[in-house]
Amino acid sequence: MAEVEADAGAVALGDLLLCGPSDDWVASLREVVPSAESAALLDGIEVGELSARGRIDALVALERHLAWVQAKQVEVLAAIAAQAEVAEGKVLEAGGSLSVVFAVSWDGAVEEVACALGLAHQTAAQRLKVASLLVGRHGQTLGLLGGGEITYMQARVLAEQLEVVDDDVAGRVEAVIVGKMPGMAVGQTRAALRRAVVRADPEGAELRHRRRARERRVQHYPQEDGMALFGAVLPAQQTALMEQAVDRRAGSYADDGRSIDQKRADALFDLVVNQPGSLGGSGGGRSGVVVQVTVPLDVLVGADGGPGELKGYGPIAGSQVRELAFAPGTVWRRLITEPETGLLVKTDPTSYRPTAETARHVIARDQYCAFPSCRVPAHRCDLDHVRPFDHEHPEQGGQTVPENLQPLCRRHHRLKTHHPGWRVRRDAHSGVAEWTAPTGHRYTNAPPVYRE
């Protein structure tokens, strides 16, 4: 049966080679199993010659081939991850030193994938993990992805949802879900998997919930146009109670033209900030609270409409800058920018530990970890000497000046210090740091320019 289907597909593809980019042609291309040969036909799609129906067929054909390419990428990522695991095992068996372990293992795959693809560390780690799971124990799902029957997001959801159960349970759940996935959206796939996992492993589900509850946290994500998303990862029952509290507060507001969404957002802010003992409530005050904004003087006084930089967020409008700058209790500190480059500049004494003023300067200058793919805020990083500090003869190099300092999160500080395969150098004039990976590939990271 499989041979007959393969032959039929080959004939259909051959017919497509002889036809033009009409609606019928695109509809046929939509049904072809993705392959290198069919991918070569995609360039023949002429959007302007298609009807509304034909454009939907073209969209689906492209999506199916995208899934085929992503399946190929999954195989490559899994091979990269497997190579790192094998190397680590060999080193540990041989009792290798810390530097040797770093040289051939220690998440080297994650770091270079992050740099090569321009991803955050966590995103790269997630891509590698999902690839390993799909190749290692979800061959049926990977086959659907390669055939363009499901999307990468569906395959990722299955791998992540079933990661928490053992191979036997994962196999049983996949066998139940895999036949349904081609007809499901991503959200439906996720919901079906959650139900199936709880049914298959109810005791494990309870234990996992208790563990996740211990990992509850607040999250803050910058968004466009001077906005940000602020929230928390909490047990579902707590979020239900919080939503009721927000709705009650929003319902108490007068009918003043605000939409219900605006009122709910304002209610959440009021419940957190405008309460006794909070930042803005009575009896609270602003002591111990620091909001850092870096802004040119002409923007600060309103003579220029340019942006400022809000620590932990990025560029904000001049009006937002001035609202923070002239709020009660604001403390101003002067930082200087170099007129030609727009980079923050500062010179401080040379000692191993930077002074508080130097540290503030480097943190404000770079804003984030200096590793190319990392976005850990600089104030949560170590201040690393790019050129190692010479404790015996500080005057001979590696001085504690801003030009030789960079913020590195603890992970990437350890990587630079202990992994002999990773090297970094920093251009003192431009501030650009160039990192060289064990594979020889080079990746750069530049500090923000405050005046462009």
User: Residues in the chain, how many?
Assistant: 452
Of 30-44, 287-301, 326-340, give the range with the top mean pLDDT: 30-44
DSSP state of 355: P
The residue whose two tokens read 């291309």 is 29
Residue 303: strand, helix, or coil? coil
Write out pLDDT tens, residues 324-354: 777 766 666 655 555 556 666 554 444 556 7
Amino acid identity of 62?
L
CA distance 319 to 384: 35
Q: How is the chain split into domains, by residue range? A: 2-201, 293-332, 344-445
Quick check: 315 pLDDT over 90? no
CA distance 24 to 176: 35
CA distance 292 to 57: 51
If pLDDT is split at 50, 70 and 90, which confidence band does 275 have?
confident
Give the pLDDT confidence score for residue 324 in this predicted structure.
73
pTM of the model: 0.68
Separation in Å, CA 180 to CA 2, 65, 174, 216: 21, 20, 10, 33
Task: Please tell me the least confidently modeled range out of 122-126, 157-161, 343-347.
Answer: 343-347
The torsion angles phi and psi of 405, rounded to 5 degrees, stand at -115, 145
Burial class (CB in 10 A: 0-12, 13-18, 19+), 289: exposed
Give the pLDDT confidence score for residue 283 in this predicted structure.
46
